[in-house]
Amino acid sequence: MRTRPLKVALLGCGVVGSEVARIMTTHADDLAARIGAPVELAGVAVRRPSKVREGIDPALITTDATALVERGDLDVVVEVIGGIEPARTLITTAFENGASVVSANKALLAEDGAALHAAAEKYGRDLYYEAAVAGAIPLVRPLRESLAGDKVNRVLGIVNGTTNFILDKMDTSGAGYSEALDEATALGYAEADPTADVEGFDAAAKAAILAGIAFHTRVKIGDVHREGITEVTAADIASARRMGCTVKLLAICERAADGASVTARVHPAMIPLSHPLASVREAYNAVFVEAEAAGQLMFYGPGAGGSPTASAVLGDLVAVCRNKLGEATGPGESAYTRLPVSPMGEVVTRYHISLDVADKPGVLAQVATVFAEQGVSIDTVRQQGKDGEASLVVVTHRAPDAALSGTVEALRKLDTVRGVASIMRVEGE
């Protein structure tokens, strides 16, 4: 074993960063044995230096992150500060000054991953980011390495624990969205400002990363169709139950049947209770991967939190340190297919549409005519009426999303349709 330690700098020391530092200290001997050399925490960049950080030598704390990554003697920089800047500049500066990088920054990777990979390649460094997607669940490395010889056709998953907790509570307890969000906040699953989670931004960033890796093409967060869960109601949950389904916020990345394009989307959807993802409860994550040779694979586990995310960071740290000792680098960006990302309107989906209609003869015929004119086939219809008002629930067969959207707009124009109570896609069949 080499006795000279590999020097590691930590950018950020919040929930995840502090746990990374703790594990590096308490498991130092094990990490050294697995890597083939000891690792030394050489500096920690923070915004609030006065905060007490148990187990970390105060002499290592600095507010000058730029000076830290410019030192020139670092082997690895671990970035867990998040956001676009200054993280982007700090990472590229680390590459320039001889360090490889381990990052948990999904937002940056989804926005500017190509440029970061190019910088890593230019300077002969590693860029690893297992912790950016689904916390402790090994997913990025299996897609980059274990399935590198296979053809992945679809990635379907629950990649945000906050939204899964909220939807699970709405399903199991009958709570409304606001009540379930309040409980998630009280338990620490939701941030004080939950927008990134509940509006689907977090899941969309992860979908962009997964699609890029799975299909060997470049997908940015702006390419991902995004819908959140704020409009999901208790009535939607109850309607899903009547269909033998549950509602999940899904990240779906698919290769077109002809292989000429890909799609990436995040939105709530009804999935059958028989589907493996339907049983994913509370704040857990799970991702279903469909590959040509390997078949169907499912990855499941805690998708967030200090310890799970730190586990993924440390796994990358070990791999990068091993590469350093062997004077090699791991896999970089693979974007050789250059496949275009199709717009949501071209995606073929099913819809569950709930309408408030007049309770009188001929209404169902009018509604059915609209579907036929838009070229959308109806699978099932359920109607209930009372005192001149009725609800009509229509579940369609698969059709282009644009045709389904056109159908909804045409339905709104019917005099007999009082309103569209809810619209939700149906997946997983």
Burial class (CB in 10 A: 0-12, 13-18, 19+), 254: buried
Quote the CA–CA distance of 101 and 189 in Å, as a whole number: 28
Quote the CA–CA distance of 374 and 368 in Å, as a whole number: 10
Find the catalytic residue in 206, 220, 248, 324: 206
Quote the CA–CA distance of 183 and 169 in Å, as a whole number: 9
Q: Residue 24: what are its φ and ψ, rounded to 5°?
A: -60, -35
Quote the CA–CA distance of 203 and 308 in Å, as a whole number: 17
Quote the CA–CA distance of 44 and 64 in Å, as a whole number: 9
Quote the CA–CA distance of 240 and 338 in Å, as a whole number: 38
Contact 43, 68 (CB under 8 A): yes
Provide the b/e sequence for 316-332 (b: ≥16 CB within 10 Å). bbbbbbbbbeeeebbee
Contact 377, 397 (CB under 8 A): yes
> CA neighbours within 13 Å on the CB side: how many for 85?
1
Structure tokens at 185: 């906040």
Q: What are the Cα distances from residue 23, in Å, to 8, 61, 130, 200, 230?
A: 13, 17, 17, 31, 37
For this structure, is 206 an active site residue?
Answer: yes
* Residues assigned a catalytic role: 206
